[in-house]
Amino acid sequence: MKEVKEFVCITCPMGCRLSVEVEGEEILSVSGNSCKRGWEYARSEAVNPKRMLTTTVRVEGGDQPLVPVRSEVGVPKNSIMEYMDFLNAQRVQAPVVSHQVICELPGCGVKMIASTDIAAK
């Protein structure tokens, strides 16, 4: 079934209003973009939109109560709230070092990594 999806392009300050015609996973047409980058953005947004996920995870025995974490790569946008539930249930033992893998997200398998060091108390 044909479907038209609309987005605002974020690759530059122009903020072009993109219109993408899709059928399942197939892109039929992109309009509204001013450049090639806009076309590529429209394509990824229409088929599989991804976002970097950043949040915090509780630390046990650390000099700080939380460690900031981020996804190593973009994660599927539509599952972000489920990932948040999963991450809020996680605990990590201090010390934590920057870029340490805290956990893997269920389903997509993307690694969540620490953004900084947390020393033990």
Site of interaction with other proteins (CB under 8 A): 7-10, 12-15, 34, 51-52, 54-56, 58, 64-66, 68-70, 77, 80-81, 84, 88, 98, 115-117
Cβ of residue 23: shortest distance to other proteins, in angstroms?
24
DSSP string, the chain: -EEEEEEE--SSTT--EEEEEEETTEEEEEES-SSHHHHHHHHHHHH--EE--EEEEEEESBSSSEEEEEESS-EEGGGHHHHHHHHHT-EEESPB-TT-EEEE-TTT-PEEEESS-B-B-
Cβ-based nearer residue to other proteins, 22 or 57? 57
Q: Least distance (Å) from other proteins to the CB of residue 9?
A: 8
Nearer to other proteins, 23 or 98 (CB): 98
Q: Which two tokens stand for residue 55?
A: 């949040």
Going 107 to 110 to 115 to 118, the CA torsion angle's sign is: positive
Which of 22/71 has CB closer to other proteins?
71
Question: For residues 26 and 82, which CB has a smaller minimum distance to other proteins in the complex?
Answer: 82
Shortest gap between Cβ of 15 and other proteins (angstroms)?
5
Question: Whole-number minimum distance, CB 104 to other proteins, in Å?
Answer: 18
